[in-house]
Amino acid sequence: MARPLRNLGFLTIGLFDPADPRAGHEATLEVIQLGERLGFDSAWVRHRHLQYGISSPVAVLAAATQRTSRIQLGTAVIPLGWENPLRLAEDLATVDVLSGGRLNPGVSVGPPMHWEHVRDALYPGTGDAEDFSYERVRRLLAYVRGEPATAFRGTEGFEEFSDRVQPHSAGLGERMWYGGGSLRSATWAGEQGMNLLTSSVVKAEEAEDFAQIQLSHIRAFRAAHPAGDAARVSQGLVVIPTDSATPEQHAKYVAYVERRTPRTRAPQGPARMLFAEDLVGPSALIAERLQSHVAYQEVDEVAFALPFSFDPPDYVQILTDVATRLAPALGWQPRN
């Protein structure tokens, strides 16, 4: 049986019109504010570099800290191939301080997407020397957790220098998440004492059943984690309740899911990536499907993903139905 849902979150991509980017960013902030009013425990933003979506999730969440007071704010995820770990550690700590300790940074590793096209712009002359392995995460974790970043500290003239990243935000190191879709990454994240973000995409290594693969990742993560079964895991599936949807919205949602369903039937590409089915329909039906999902049965935290291409009124309807109908059916109760 599934555990009662304890932590209710949602994920948004934050699309915008390139002719009017401010409106899209404002809409993202308004969605986060709506989430807080509805009682959601967390709101997460996804990155999109060189696209018409949020390219700087840390900056967007810095703005969100000033418009919210309770909701946890996360990134799902920041690809570290685009980042300098020391500079990112400074930004994360700064935003965490501004939020009062509400930031939940999620990260991943690997070369930047379309590496062959962006390497000269991103790392001119040093692309071959860059390390896109787990070591990049280790560096970030060390800086966030307060380990020395330099051998120099002390006073020079009128200026005082620290040997660790400033500001240091105590507790942020315990709120670092890894976005993993393979057994290796899940195990590695557990060994590092991180939290695990599982999404609607996994690597089909030992099976071709999405739920069973995701279950194996969760169990491997907890087996490697110092906290064992108490280690935090958040599941992120695309969930679209239709309880209060208009007929036009319902038709749009069903068509969206139908377009995406073929990719869920078999692993995709050389990496054998397997996509989960989107869940659309009345909240009672979605709750039933989730409670029978063997990976969902292992978690009590979720970050349901909002569909990428919908309109603001659609997000209002979906989030409202999630908070008032679906989540209570899963045993969740708002804290405020």
Q: What is the CA radius of gyration of the chain?
A: 20
- Of 230, 249, 237, which Cα lies nearest the Cα of 298? 230
Q: What is the pLDDT of residue 336?
A: 64
The reply to whether 34 falls in a domain is yes
325 within some domain: yes
Residue 295 belongs to domain spanning: 7-81+176-329
Q: Is residue 105 part of a domain?
A: no
- Provide the pairing of β-strand 72-79 with 279-281: unpaired
Task: Please say whether the beta carbons of 236 and 197 come within 8 A.
Answer: yes
Integer CA distances (angstroms), 93 to 145, 154, 169, 173, 288, in order: 10, 21, 5, 10, 40
The one-letter code for the residue type at 38 is L
Is residue 201 classed as helix, strand or coil in its secondary structure? strand
Torsion of CA 42, 195, 273, 183, to 10 degrees: -160
- Residue given tokens 């965490």 in the structure block: 96
Which amino acid is located at 253 in the chain? Y
Provide the domain count of the chain.
1
Q: Write the DSSP assignment of 256-299 as a string of letters.
A: HHHHHGGGGSS-BTTTTEEEPPPEEE-HHHHHHHHHT-TTGGG-
CATH code where residue 303 lies: 3.20.20.30
0.95 cut: is pTM over it? Answer: yes
Per-residue pLDDT of the chain (336 residues; tens, 9 = 90+): 688 999 999 999 999 999 999 999 999 999 999 999 999 999 999 999 999 999 999 999 999 999 999 999 999 999 999 999 999 999 999 999 999 999 999 999 999 999 999 999 999 999 999 999 999 999 999 999 999 999 999 999 999 999 999 999 999 999 999 999 999 999 999 999 999 999 999 999 988 999 999 999 999 999 999 999 999 999 999 999 999 999 999 999 999 999 999 999 999 999 999 999 999 999 999 999 999 999 999 999 999 999 988 999 999 999 999 999 999 999 999 986
Residues 6 or more apart whose CB falls under 8 angstroms from that of 270 comprise none
281 is a domain residue: yes
Asked, for residue 228, whether it belongs to a domain, the answer is yes
CA-wise closest residue to 290 among 240, 333, 218: 240
Q: Is residue 318 part of a domain?
A: yes
Q: Is residue 164 part of a domain?
A: no
Asked if residue 274 belongs to a domain, the reply is yes
Q: What pLDDT, on a 0 to 100 scale, did the predictor assign at position 313?
A: 96
Q: What are the strands, taking DSSP E only, across the chain? A: 7-12, 42-45, 72-79, 103-108, 154-156, 159-161, 177-179, 195-198, 201-203, 233-235, 239-241, 273-275, 279-281, 301-305
Residue 317's nearest CA partner among 236, 238, 237, 242 is 242
pLDDT at 138: 98
- Taken as a whole, the chain contains a residue count of 336
pLDDT for the residue numbered 12: 96
Cβ neighbours of residue 295 under 8 Å, at least 6 residues apart? 198, 211, 212, 214, 215, 217, 218, 235
